Chain A
Amino acid sequence: MRSRWSYVYFAFYLLLGVVLLFLNNDLSKAVITLMNVIIVLVPLIGTIFGVMYYYNSQEFTELLLAQPIKRSSIFLGQYLGVALSLSMSLILGLGIPFVFYGLFESSAIWDFSLLLITGTFLTLIFTALAFNIALSNENKIKGFGYAILLWLFLAVIYDGLFLMTLILFEDYPLDKVSLIGTMLNPIDLSRTLILLKLDISALLGYTGAVFKQFFGTSFGLIVSFVMLTIWVVMPVLRIVFKSKKKDF
């Protein structure tokens, strides 16, 4: 099951990469389009795959649990299996057409590698979140519902609320608030990471000392990566913790 779906996923990215390059004839423009795709699609696919995989292999997992194997290694193994194969499909699927198109000679290589790194992070984060949801919900329909809701919330609704807050409190200094708000959402975080590369000239137009320090130096890049790592580690720890306690 796992391998078949990751081939489909791989084929999808391959097609996307080829079509984008074919239509755009321009690497940097294709990178911008890809960014939009990665930020929205990768979390969605990660979430749905994670939930689906968990529910599908539930019976097999119960069988495995009867064997003398550590619980954490079963669940971590499953998680890593899904997350890493998804990441590989992403990296290879997008990487191959871009490499053939002459990525190594172009200036877009750094933007592109950053894109793949954030894509991988997002896969790791959202698969872990999906496993968490599935572990906590026996009911499949409920589990799927929560997973989709989680994605919708982080990808769209969160930004809407964020924007409303910023506009409502526009009379107050908001630069710290806006940075913290970004840190709390992995999708926003990866978006900011890519903005740092693509739109740095626009970001520097705003007069805030905190913004300036964050975007003007490598400080922003480092903090974002640290936060992304925390976003991976926290749900994974919860998988381990939850799987130890859970009754099957």
Chain B
Amino acid sequence: MKNLIVFIIAIFIANTSIAQTIEVCKTCPVSTLKDAITQAKELDTIIIKKGTYKEHSIFIDKSLTIIGENYPVIDGEKKGEIITIKADNVTVDGLFIINVGNSYTEDYAAIRVKNSKNFVIQNLVLEKLFFGIYIEKSTDGKVYHNKIIGDAVEEYNSGNGIQLWYSKNVEIELNYVEHVRDGIYLEFSDDCLIKNNISTLNVRYGLHFMFSNDDIYQDNTFENNGAGVAVMFSKRIKMYNNLFKENWGTASYGMLLKEINDAEIIGNTFENNTIGINIEGSNRITYKHNSFSNNGWAIKVKGACYANTFTENNFLYNSFDIAYNSNVNDNVFDKNYWSSYTGYDLDKNGIGDIPYRPVKLFSYIVNRTPETIILLRSMFIDIIDFSEKVSPVFTPDDLLDNNPQIKKLTW
């Protein structure tokens, strides 16, 4: 008897505390997402059935799990922001959100997370957007497996795909972003992990870092963006195994580093970019096991770069391997493979017997008079490059790779 009472009490307690599930569909008692949120209690689950829901300015102020079945469409009708999350522990899953309002004064987003913890945003498809996923002053969240397809043409009237602002500890994984201003943008956001994303065809940068420290980005693909990837004013960023491809144009880079200190750039591939890496005012960076192939300039060093080390990288068929705009050098190049190395290896230890000079006189000339690029690979240029190689005057004379590899490196 006593046991039975305990059991009944237990069931009673369980019943009240177990979360409820609310279904939303066109013919259900609850037919809008807004109503569902007002009716729901903390920790409830809202399931949205297939259909089109014309709603905007939806505020989620409770810990809810919102799941879309078969990708229901939330149509904002260009009237402003669509979903705003202002509570901890919110999960949004499987929605198709379209038509975010445009504005020149406010950053309307398809989904905005504000001052929240432990959020999960996954399996969303966003189209016709201004800003996509905007995470503001939030921590410990996850942005997973979303697809963001914008239609941005100009920089001034478009927004970013995934934007983090003053957020910490966010994981951004397996997302696909195209045709927005910046694919992924981090500002004042530390300790984030950006992994396995594809960011392509964006108007400005595929990935953009500003004042964000201790972040890791790895295994991402950045292809055909307006200006490539920019990492600026940040410390201790780790960049592993990313692919930077086909960023073509006059101000276009695979990667732009500006005021970056103590970063690690390991295992990345730079292919067919106008400039592989453009470095400005960046110190103590380790470049290792990267592969630069068929770029216009593999690495362009613009001033104030000290104590960087470039070891065991492959430089393959770039028009210019390294370009310097001064003849001062404080960086170390060692044990790299250079496809344009013409030395020999008599003692057969796999290391070339004469050092390699990666900076050519011609790159200095092109830097001064850009039109001369048309004389690239001319025999006259080869002759003056050779004479500069023998006795350097314009290029840094201590810029040498003393142990150039004879065979392409594999890791």
Distance between A126 CB and nearest chain B CB, rounded to angstroms: 15
Number of residues of chain B lying within 8 A (CB) of chain A? 33
Tell me the A131-179 residues at the B interface (CB within 8 Å). 155-157, 159-160, 162-163, 166-167, 170, 174-175, 177-179
Kindly state the separation between the CA atoms of A35 and B382 in the bound complex, as whole angstroms: 13
Question: Which of these, B252, B297, B317, B365, contacts A163 with CB under 8 Å?
Answer: B365
Indicate whether A202 sits within 8 Å of B339 (C-beta atoms), given known contacts A28-B317, A32-B317, A208-B371.
Answer: no
Number of residues of chain A lying within 8 A (CB) of chain B? 41
Distance between B293 CB and nearest chain A CB, rounded to angstroms: 9
Chain B 292-316: CB-based contact to A (< 8 A → 1; otherwise 0): 0011110000000000000000000
User: Is the CB of A29 closer than 8 A to any CB of chain B?
Assistant: yes
Residues of B within 8 A of A199 (CB): 296, 319, 376-377
User: Is the CB of B393 closer than 8 A to any CB of chain A?
Assistant: no
Q: Contact check, A167 vs B369: say whether CB atoms are below 8 A apart.
A: yes
Indicate whether A166 sits within 8 Å of B371 (C-beta atoms), given known contacts A201-B272, A201-B273.
Answer: yes
Question: Which of these, A28, A162, A166, A202, contacts B297 with CB under 8 Å?
Answer: A202
Tell me the A189-248 residues at the B interface (CB within 8 Å). 191-192, 194-195, 198-208, 211
Q: Contact check, B374 vs A202: say whether CB atoms are below 8 A apart.
A: no
Q: Contact check, A163 vs B272: say whether CB atoms are below 8 A apart.
A: no
Q: Contact check, A182 vs B374: say whether CB atoms are below 8 A apart.
A: yes
Residues of A within 8 A of B274 (CB): 201-202, 204-205
Distance between A32 CB and nearest chain B CB, rounded to angstroms: 7
Q: Contact check, B248 vs A204: say whether CB atoms are below 8 A apart.
A: yes
Residues of B within 8 A of A125 (CB): none
Kindly state the separation between the CA atoms of A181 and B370 in the bound complex, as whole angstroms: 15
Question: Which of these, B371, B373, B378, B382, contacts A202 with CB under 8 Å?
Answer: B373
**Which has the most chain B C-beta neighbours within 10 Å: A36, A170, A202, A203?**
A202
Q: Contact check, B371 vs A201: say whether CB atoms are below 8 A apart.
A: no
Q: Contact check, A40 vs B379: say whether CB atoms are below 8 A apart.
A: yes
Q: Which residue of B lies closest to A177 (CB)?
A: B371
Q: Which residue of A lies closest to B369 (CB)?
A: A170
Indicate whether A206 sits within 8 Å of B319 (C-beta atoms), given known contacts A201-B272, A201-B296.
Answer: no
User: Is the CB of B320 closer than 8 A to any CB of chain A?
Assistant: yes
Indicate whether A166 sits within 8 Å of B250 (C-beta atoms), given known contacts A32-B317, A155-B379.
Answer: no
Q: Contact check, A205 vs B296: say whether CB atoms are below 8 A apart.
A: yes
User: Is the CB of B275 closer than 8 A to any CB of chain A?
Assistant: yes
User: Is the CB of B372 closer than 8 A to any CB of chain A?
Assistant: yes
Q: Which residue of A lies closest to B248 (CB)?
A: A204
User: Is the CB of B153 closer than 8 A to any CB of chain A?
Assistant: no
Kindly state the separation between the CA atoms of A177 and B371 in the bound complex, as whole angstroms: 9
Q: Which residue of B lies closest to A159 (CB)?
A: B380
Residues of B within 8 A of A157 (CB): 380
Q: Which residue of A lies closest to B362 (CB)?
A: A163
User: Is the CB of A86 closer than 8 A to any CB of chain B?
Assistant: no
Residues of B within 8 A of A205 (CB): 250, 274-275, 296-297, 370, 373
Residues of B within 8 A of A202 (CB): 274, 295-297, 319-320, 373, 376
Residues of A within 8 A of B372 (CB): 163, 166-167, 178
Residues of A within 8 A of B378 (CB): 159, 188, 191
Distance between B280 CB and nearest chain A CB, rounded to angstroms: 16
Tell me the B62-85 residues at the A interface (CB within 8 Å). none
Question: Which of these, B249, B297, B377, B380, contacts A36 with CB under 8 Å?
Answer: B377
Q: Contact check, B371 vs A178: say whether CB atoms are below 8 A apart.
A: yes
Q: 5 A-B pairs, CB-CB below 8 angstroms? A: A28-B317, A36-B377, A40-B379, A157-B380, A204-B248
B residues lining the A interface (CB < 8 Å):
248-250, 252, 272-275, 294-297, 317, 319-320, 339, 365, 368-383
